[in-house]
Chain A
Amino acid sequence: AQKVTQAQTEISVVEKEDVTLDCVYETRDTTYYLFWYKQPPSGELVFLIRRNSFDEQNEISGRYSWNFQKSTSSFNFTITASQVVDSAVYFCALSEGGGYDSNYQLIWGAGTKLIIKP
């Protein structure tokens, strides 16, 4: 069965600290996609990254970086030099690849609330 686990319910750090949000997933498919979304207090989901199962390269985008490790079924997200504006709830999600008729439904983690204190 497919599942996404974000064990950290809430993380609080002081501004400029680095912080890593963990995501562990379960799937039997060999083709799948992993996502991270940010949900600020306004509620609107902000897409951060998508990674397919065949691409294990880590990615860096500014202060954000992602570490995808199939061996441990993890897709962790690190914010370097955190800022107050990074405060939000972050969701990790999994979509299993399928045939033409697949709906590619997203399986969501519970989310991690990140609080950056000034």
Chain B
Amino acid sequence: GAVVSQHPSRVICKSGTSVKIECRSLDFQATTMFWYRQFPKQSLMLMATSNEGSKATYEQGVEKDKFLINHASLTLSTLTVTSAHPEDSSFYICSARVAPSSYEQYFGPGTRLTVT
């Protein structure tokens, strides 16, 4: 149980275009989802926390107008990278939490974004 999927697994896009990444909890309802980015040879950096039905909370230094997060249902959260640039190329990972009081996070397999 507790499977999280991400789509796409890899995406290459041209500079200036927008890319949407989906994160789905397949067999549970996720009240909270987290979005991370990971640059090569670095640790995970939390970008934002989203609770279903409310606006995402962004970490300091993350541009909310550039990284749009929508958590419209208990099983789906999306991250849209708007007007992507080469420096946005990274590995994006989502995770989902089952219940408000749960410390467990289940991670998606990640999406590798390359902006050319």
Contacts and interface: CB of A to CB of B under 8 A. Distances in A.
A43 B91 contact: yes
Interface in A95-114: 95, 97, 100-106, 108-111, 113
A44 B46 contact: no
Interface in A18-77: 33, 37, 42-45, 47, 50
A100 B106 CA distance: 19
A111 B104 CA distance: 20
Contact of B101 (A45, A91, A100): A100
B110 A43 contact: yes
Contacts of A91: 43-44
Interface in B77-106: 91, 93, 97, 100-105
B110 A110 contact: no
Given A37-B107, A45-B110, A103-B32, 18 more contacts: A33-B103, A43-B38, A43-B110, A44-B107, A45-B107, A91-B44, A95-B103, A97-B103, A100-B100, A100-B101, A104-B97, A104-B105, A105-B46, A106-B44, A109-B43, A110-B42, A111-B43, A113-B41
Interface of A: 33, 37, 42-45, 47, 50, 91, 95, 97, 100-106, 108-111, 113
7 closest A-B pairs by beta carbon, nearest first, are A104-B103, A44-B109, A45-B107, A43-B110, A108-B43, A110-B43, A108-B44
